[in-house]
Amino acid sequence: GQNIDQPTEMTATEGAIVQINCTYQTSGFNGLFWYQQHAGEAPTFLSYNVLDGLEEKGRFSSFLSRSKGYSYLLLKELQMKDSASYLCAVTGGSGNTGKLIFGQGTTLQVKP
Amino acid sequence: DAGITQSPRHKVTETGTPVTLRCHQTENHRYMYWYRQDPGHGLRLIHYSYGVKDTDKGEVSDGYSVSRSKTEDFLLTLESATSSQTSVYFCAISEAGQGSGSEQFFGPGTRLTVL
Each residue's pLDDT tens digit, A16-68: 999 999 999 988 889 999 999 999 999 999 999 999 999 999 999 999 999 99
pLDDT, position B87: 98
- In the three-class reduction of DSSP (H, G, I as helix; E, B as strand; rest coil), residue A82 is classed as helix
Chain B residues in contact with A102 (beta carbon < 8 A): 42-44
Nearest by CB to A96, from B43, B50, B105: name it. Answer: B50
Taking chain A, what is the end-to-end CA distance rounded to the nearest angstrom? 41
Residue A98, min C-alpha distance to chain B (Å): 4
Identify whether the C-beta of residue B70 lies closer than 8 Å to the C-beta of residue B22.
no
Q: Is A2 on the interface with B (CB under 8 A)?
A: no
CA distance B56 to B66: 9
Partnered with residue A65 across adjacent β-strands are A70
Cis peptide before A43 (omega within 30 of 0): no
**Gyration radius of chain B over CA positions:** 13
A103 phi, psi to nearest 5 deg: -80, 175
CB contact under 8 A, A50 and B42: no
The 10 Å Cβ neighbour count of residue A65 is: 13
**Segment B10-15 mean pLDDT:** 97
Q: Taking the CA of residue A1 as centre, how many other CA atoms within 13 Å lie in the half-sphere pointing to its CB? A: 2
pLDDT, position B68: 97
Count of A-B CB contacts under 8 Å: 62
pLDDT, position A93: 73
